[in-house]
């Protein structure tokens, strides 16, 4: 019973952690967010102006059933979840729920736990996904968000 409670509390802590795609991390990887996002455009949008690919994806492509599906790798699905969220800081809880709704299928019921998702995201070396760290200053009680890079 105690072990189960500790495991639940640990999963709850991970579920609240936030991640986004870091421009700095992508620059270090010699990648560019707009190009990576535009490569995921649906057939209707592939020939459109991709100057703001995030907006294009959110207005059309992300609603397609094929945008996130069970045959793609977990990290690709996670990348697509974050870009459908406008690359705003996205909680592991939201990622988990979206994977459960759109990625898992009856033939493959495997779904990484929030703790496993955290490990996957913090070890990302391709998509530029980084944890959003919240810093609070006691003097002004201002909250700022920064992304943590591996380098």
User: What's the structural domain count of the chain?
Assistant: 1
Kindly state the percentage of the chain with pLDDT values over 70: 81
149 by DSSP, 3-state: which? coil
Q: What residues contact residue 61 under an 8 Å CB cut-off, 6+ apart?
A: 40, 41, 42, 44, 45, 67
Measure CA of the first residue to CA of the last residue in the chain; give whole Å: 40
The answer, yes or no, to whether residue 54 has pLDDT greater than 70, is yes
What is the residue range of 131's domain? 20-147
Residue 3 is assigned to a structural domain of this protein? no
- C-alpha neighbours within 13 Å on the C-beta side of residue 131: 17
pTM of the full predicted structure?
Answer: 0.82
User: Over 50: is that where the pLDDT of 140 sits?
Assistant: no
87, part of any domain: yes
Within a domain: 74: yes
Residue 5 lies in a domain: no
Q: Are 80 and 65 contacting, i.e. CB atoms less than 8 angstroms apart? A: no
Does residue 1 lie within any of the structural domains?
no
Summarised one tens digit per residue, pLDDT across range 89-136 is: 999 999 999 999 999 988 878 899 999 999 999 999 999 999 998 764
pLDDT at 11 over 80: no
């Amino acid at each position: 019973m105690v072990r189960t409670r500790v495991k639940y509390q640990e999963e709850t802590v991970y579920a609240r952690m936030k991640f986004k795609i870091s421009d700095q991390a992508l620059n270090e990887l010699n990648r560019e967010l707009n190009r990576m996002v535009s490569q995921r455009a649906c057939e209707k949008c592939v020939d459109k102006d991709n100057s703001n690919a995030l907006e294009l994806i959110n207005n059309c492509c992300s609603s397609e059933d094929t945008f996130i599906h069970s045959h793609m790798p977990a990290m690709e699905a996670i990348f697509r979840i974050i870009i459908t969220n406008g690359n705003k800081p996205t909680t592991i809880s939201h990622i988990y729920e979206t994977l459960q709704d759109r990625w898992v299928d009856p033939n493959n019921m495997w779904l990484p736990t929030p703790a496993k998702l955290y490990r996957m995201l913090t070890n990302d070396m391709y998509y530029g996904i980084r944890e959003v760290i919240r810093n609070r200053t006691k003097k002004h009680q201002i909250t700022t968000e920064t992304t943590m890079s591996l380098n």
